[in-house]
Structures are given as C-alpha cells and as structure tokens.
Amino acid sequence: MASAPIVTLMQVRADRMAAWLYPRVAPVDVAIAGGVFLACRYLPRAGWAVERTAAVDPTELAARGWESIALVVLACVLLVWRRQWPTGIWLTVLMLAVADTLLTQLPSRCLAAVMVSVYTVAVRTNRRTAVVVAAVTAGAVIIPTVFVMDGSIGSDATYALAAFSALAAAVGDSVRNQRESVASALARAEAAEASREELARRRVVEERLRIARELHDAVAHHVSVINVQAGVAAHLVEADPPAAREALVHVRTASQQVIEEMRVMVGLLRTDGNAQLVEPPTPGLTEIPGLVARMRSAGLDVELDDHVGNRDLPTTTGLTAYRVIQEALTNAGKYGTGSARVVLLEEGQTLHVEVSNPVSSPAGAAGPGRALDGASGHGLIGMRERVEATGGTLTITEGEGFSIRADLPLERVGP
C-alpha cells in the first residue's frame, strides 16, 4: 500500500522535470543540434589531423572512436538548451571537446559544437563576454591539440582554430547588434504610437472640457434669466399684468437664444471633420453692452464702467472677458441684492475685468465662493480655466460683497 504514494510522488517529480525542460526546447534547436552532430561525425578531419590518425594503431583508433562519438553526442544534445543557459552550455561543451582531444589523442570532433556555443554566447550576452569566450575557447582548444601532436606548434592548425573562434564570436555579435537595432526601432515605434494615442486622448478630454464650458456659458446665463423673469411674471400676473407680460417677453427671448445656441452647439458636435459648418460669431468686447442691456431688462441694475471701448483685441481675450462678465452677472443675479458693477480697464499689455456686487447676507456671499471648490460650481471653475488658458489670473474676493477680477494679457503668452 505504501508503494502507491511513492510512485505518485515520483510521477509528480517527473512531470515537473518535463515541464521545466520541454517547454524550453525549440524545434529549431533540436534540428540545429542534429545538423551539428552530422557535421562532427561525418565531415573529414583536416590534413594535419589525418596524418596524426595514420600514426595510431587501428584497433586503438576504433576504441577511441566510440568514446569520441559518445562525447560528440553529449555535446550536441546539450546544444538543445543553449539559448536558456548560453554560458553554462558553452563551458560544458568546451570541456567535452578538451576531454575528447586528451582521450583520443586526436583533434576533437566536437569543434563544430564548440563554435555553435560560442556563437550563442555572443548573441545572448554582450561584446565583452563574447571576446572573453572566444579567447578562452581558442586557448582551450589549441593547447590540447598542440600537446597531442607531440609538441609541434602546427601553425596552420593554430591559426585555423583561433580564426574559427573569432569568426563565431564576430558573427554572433553582429547578429545581436542587428536584433538590438530592430528591437530599439520597434520600441521607438511603439512609444511614438503610445504618445500619439495619449495625445489624442488628451485632446479629447480638452475638447470635452471646452464643450462643457461653452454649454454652461451659453445656456446657464439664459436659463438664469428665464428663471428670474418667470418668477417676476408669476408674481405680477395679477397685480401688474403689463409688467408680467414684459417679463414673459424676456423669457421668450432668452428661450429663443438658448434654442439657437443649443442648435448650433449640437450641430458642431454632430458634424464630422470633413463637413463645412459655419460656427457662430465669437462674442467679445463689442457684445458686452448688449449683455449688460439684457441683464438690465432682466431686472439687474448693472453699472458699466468701460475704459476700453471697441478696441480690437485678440479673439481669445475678448471671448474670455465676455464669458467672465456673463458668468459674474449671472451669479450677481442669483446671490446679490439686484445690482452689480462692471469695470473694464486697459493697463499696459493687460486687460483688467472686474465685476462686483453687494450681497444680502454673509451666507449669500459665501454661496458662489463655496461653489468654486465644490462639485456644483462649474461656472466659476470654467471661468478660472478660461482665464488661466490665456495666461491670465483670476481673483475672487468675498466679504460684504462679492468681486471677481480677471487680469488678461493682450498678447498670448506661453506655448
């Protein structure tokens, strides 16, 4: 009964050994090892080796031949795992070649296997290791060969063995350099592709943020006007019908503007890059008086202190100034006491835009300020993003009143 667990344990160990060895063996390596064996076994020896063979007794030579073949077989079998352990396989095959030379008193038949292992080391490691391996191989093969030839140097043999070692290392080093160049080119191509994908993703995110800002700036203002005027109409519908009617007119006007701007925005989103679609005019400083007039008609007492006029400004600067004033006046209508002051001032290469309004209570003053850092303050967050995108700064001051100041460069700075 105890034999079954022992057999099972042995089977498990055998399976683990097979899984460790066989997946590492490539069919091409088996084929190469077979070709090297045929070369070692059947290719004739060099002329100087043939002369040495003729001096050996045939019976002794036959006995040495079987021993030599066994060493050749072992060396070629080891070549199957040369990719996994290049240095270890090279050293083992080299020792087998030296043993073959000393045992048979003839130049080793394992030289082809040795050169293949030298080539593998050069391919799998680095140039310095390849040079050391080639030098050690030449010395380890030449010295025993000269020794078995009764101390004669045999210059042709010496040069041939050294040349073969150097050639194997040189070819391996060249192949390794070529592979590294290809791998480096592929890595650069993959990095460039990843960079392009990251850039595309970043542009998508930036475009989404831009669309979100445009939607908020274009719609939130008019919706706030609609809300205020609808409340006025509901309050005055019986007490002052003409005033209620006027408020409803403002509601209709603001609604039409919202519908038009939403139509244009959706059209831009649904149009591909090849279609021709004319974008709406970009608002700037020239549209600020109209914005102030609409806010006044909505019930907000706005004082405009314009020291710039219709000066021709960069499109981005003009649009940013307009959106800042639009958002600030919208907040003044929500949180203020019904009045606001807008100041436009050009100083050097900077356009100063400031919108301030009194508030009814400290809690009311804190409302927009808290929204700036909270989840619901998309308007003020978008305002800050707009200003910083132009290279300007945005300052928000809270206290007895609420003040928003944007300092915008008249010339685009940064990349």
Residue 304 and residue 157 share a domain: no
Q: In whole angstroms, give the CA distance from residue 367 to residue 375.
A: 13
Which amino acid, one-letter code, is at 271? T
Residue ending a domain, choose from 193, 228, 253? 193
Residue 127 and residue 10 share a domain: yes
Residue ending a domain, choose from 135, 161, 193? 193
Q: In whole angstroms, give the CA distance from residue 173 to residue 176.
A: 5
State the Rg of the chain over Cα: 44
Q: In whole angstroms, give the CA distance from residue 122 to residue 132.
A: 10
Residue ending a domain, choose from 151, 175, 193? 193
Quote the pLDDT of residue 394.
Answer: 92
Note whether residue 260 is domain-resident.
no
Residue 300 and residue 154 share a domain: no
Q: In whole angstroms, give the CA distance from residue 71 to residue 107.
A: 13
Q: Give the residue numbers spanning the domain of 30.
A: 3-193
Note whether residue 202 is domain-resident.
no
Note whether residue 22 is domain-resident.
yes
Q: How is residue 310 written in tokens? A: 């219709």
Note whether residue 240 is domain-resident.
no
Mapping DSSP to helix (H, G, I), strand (E, B) and coil, where does residue 52 land?
Answer: helix
pTM: 0.49
Residue 413 and residue 303 share a domain: yes
Q: In whole angstroms, give the CA distance from residue 167 to residue 126.
A: 15
Residue 325 in contact with residue 288, Cβ under 8 Å?
yes
Quote the pLDDT of residue 364.
Answer: 42
Q: How many CA atoms lie within 13 A of 34 on its CB side?
A: 6
Which amino acid, one-letter code, is at 126? N
Residue 218 in contact with residue 279, Cβ under 8 Å?
no
* CATH number for the domain that contains residue 299: 3.30.565.10
Note whether residue 271 is domain-resident.
no
Place of tokens 């683990």: 16
Residue 24 and residue 157 share a domain: yes
Q: In whole angstroms, give the CA distance from residue 307 to residue 369.
A: 28
Angle at the Cα of 149 (from 143 to 151), degrees rounded to 5? 70
**Residue ranges of the chain with pLDDT lower than 50?**
1-2, 46-51, 53-57, 60-61, 275-278, 363-376, 413-415
Residue 58 and residue 187 share a domain: yes
Q: pLDDT tens digits for 200-225?
A: 888 888 777 777 777 776 676 677 77
The DSSP secondary-structure symbol of 336 reads B
Note whether residue 375 is domain-resident.
yes
Nearest to 114 by CA among 198, 195, 58, 36: 36
Sign of the dihedral defined by the CA atoms of residues 75, 76, 82, 84, in that order: negative
Quote the pLDDT of residue 414.
Answer: 45
Residue 237: which residues within 8 A CB-CB, separation 6 or more?
Answer: 244
Mapping DSSP to helix (H, G, I), strand (E, B) and coil, where does residue 357 land?
Answer: strand
Note whether residue 189 is domain-resident.
yes
Note whether residue 274 is domain-resident.
no
Quote the pLDDT of residue 330.
Answer: 82
How many domains does the chain fold into? 2
Q: pLDDT tens digits for 351-376?
A: 999 999 988 755 444 444 443 333 34
